[in-house]
Structure 1
Amino acid sequence: MRIPEGKKIYFSSDNHLGAPTNEASRPREKKFVAWLDDVKKDAAAIFLLGDLFDFWFEYGTVVPKGFVRTLGKLAEISDSGIPIYFFVGNHDLWMNGYFEKELNIPVFHKPKEFTFNDKTFYIAHGDGLGPYDKGYKRMKKVFTNPVFKFLFKWVHPDIGMRVAQYLSVKNKLISGDDDAKYLGEDNEWLIQYSKSQLQEQHRDFFLYGHRHLPMDLDLGQNSKYVNLGDWITYFTYGVFDGKDFELKTYK
């Protein structure tokens, strides 16, 4: 993708809309919608790196109630011709065609590489990457198993959503617990994963969400590791103008 003069690529992650309740997250949602309104003025594309919702499950004819401000704004931007790309996170991994059909937004379930103005970007939400977190990987295999999804969809949405939201809010990443603290380069799994990927193939940028902590670190070999932070505590996002990448805070 060539970025036209005066245009930029924007990156955002981890809004967790609906946590701890729809009402409590609404001010954050309005702030995110205001950001979308601002960036659409010069956006060549917008990338959302997962956990936009704290829980999302698509039934055959039903999607979760709420978030109309966000969905409406995404539809408006997509309809205007600005491409939007979505990477599922561990909280909204049960997407099954709604974004593609209703909003014309491609949805990715695995890491994907993009090239902007000769700069290569390795992009993913970040959950389950690398050799660690085996417990989560086992759990994810269960959650993404077609049999499990088939059985869950037969649970009435009022019950299924209530149980899932309760369990989701218990996640420490929402409460801002120790998981949102820098653990040191050797203990940051996504940094170690990026370094292993860098040994196989050069990328200029490795971009992730998931950790809820804004990070922009040099990996060597003219490569950088970037974590976009979140829209709970930091309200940070990434911008690439065709030459330089920058993490910014939305005020």
Structure 2
Amino acid sequence: MTPLNMHIPEGKKIYFASDNHLGAPTKEASSIREKKFVAWLDEIKEDAAAIFLLGDLFDFWAEYKTVVPKGFTRTLGKLAEITDSGIPVYFFVGNHDLWMYGYFEEELNIPVYHKPKEFTFNDTTFFIGHGDGLGPKDKGYKRMKKVFTNPFSQWLFRWLHPDIGVRLAQHLSVKNKLISGDEDAKFLGEDNEWLVQYCKRKLETKHRDYFVFGHRHLPLEIDLNPKSKYINLGDWIVYYTYAVFDGKTMVLKKHH
């Protein structure tokens, strides 16, 4: 895996956020959270060298050839404004927004990644992804993800009218715990956190300074060894947390 190299100018920062789940649990409740997120994007654009969104921006997202889900206009407009200004934004799909097929790239100029990827910022190495389906557990979801990402399954889904397909998927997103991640909301202890185990296995073959994931909905900073750290970004539902890298150090912060 070849890392993407990026130089951070003096006074600039890289921002990371994940798990907004826009659209849930209701349109009204989501609107309040969306406005907070857009306000945050408006704040950080002043000194952002780049912005990384690590998945589950939406509680459900699926793209047909000529149709995308209704709503989220404030978020999409703000992201377009940011990329138009020259600030790069990178998106990693989550388990709730797997079905991205070009809309972000074409309309927002945002690269979309479906697997974790390495980046080097100045001389610091990062391994970045959403975090779903990684590590020794999550077996039920791993099987379900194979179905969701299967081209034939995707072809069948596109034959559903969007009003039916989106409503069905939204229902499953909330009701099916394999998709919703409701079972993952509690800290399991370092020895039982499957993303921690995944990071430690990756370190056996190659050093990375930071492993950055979402998915767990918990703000976590865990030392994997004296020179490597695992960071989980939390969410924009309960914690409103994000991470900032200033070219030297990485810290978790809370938006107020």
TM-score bracket, shorter-length normalisation: over 0.9
Which residue number corresponds to residue 179 of structure 1?
184
Which residue number corresponds to residue 219 of structure 2?
214
Which residue number corresponds to residue 124 of structure 2?
119
Quick check: 1:79 aligned with 2:75?
Answer: no
Quickly say closer, same or farther: Cα 1:203–1:232, change in 2 above 3 A.
same
Contact 2:173–2:180 (CA under 8 A) maintained in structure 1: no
Q: Once structures 1 and 2 are overlaid, which stretch shifts more, 132-141 or 52-61?
A: 132-141
TM-score (norm 1): 0.97
Q: CA-to-partner distance for each residue in 1:112-141, whole Å, 9 max, x for gaps?
A: 000011000000000001232221111101
2:245 corresponds to which of 222, 240, 244:
240
Distance 2:219 2:122 in 1: 24
Quick check: 1:12 aligned with 2:27?
Answer: no
TM-score (norm 2): 0.95
Q: Once structures 1 and 2 are overlaid, which stretch shifts more, 178-187 or 241-250?
A: 178-187
Quickly say closer, same or farther: Cα 1:239–1:173, change in 2 above 3 A.
farther
Quickly say closer, same or farther: Cα 1:83–1:246, change in 2 above 3 A.
same
Which residue number corresponds to residue 150 of structure 2?
145
* Structure 2 residue identity aligned to 1:167: L
Q: CA-to-partner distance for each residue in 1:83-106, whole Å, 9 max, x for gaps?
A: 000000000000000000000000
Paired residues for 1:25-44 under 5 Å: 25-44=30-49
Q: CA RMSD in A?
A: 1.5
> Percent same amino acid among aligned pairs?
77
Paired residues for 1:44-193 under 5 Å: 44-170=49-175, 179-193=184-198
Shift of 1:24: 2.0
Over 3 Å off, 4+ runs: 171-178
Structure 2 spans left out of the alignment, 5+ residues: 1-5
SS of equivalent to 2:204: helix
Shift of 1:22: 2.2
Aligned residues: 251
Shift of 1:228: 0.1
Contact 1:12–1:237 (CA under 8 A) maintained in structure 2: yes
Quickly say closer, same or farther: Cα 1:171–1:235, change in 2 above 3 A.
farther
Distance 2:156 2:82 in 1: 35
* Structure 2 residue identity aligned to 1:222: K
Q: CA-to-partner distance for each residue in 1:133-156, whole Å, 9 max, x for gaps?
A: 221111101000010101101111
Distance 2:52 2:179 in 1: 21
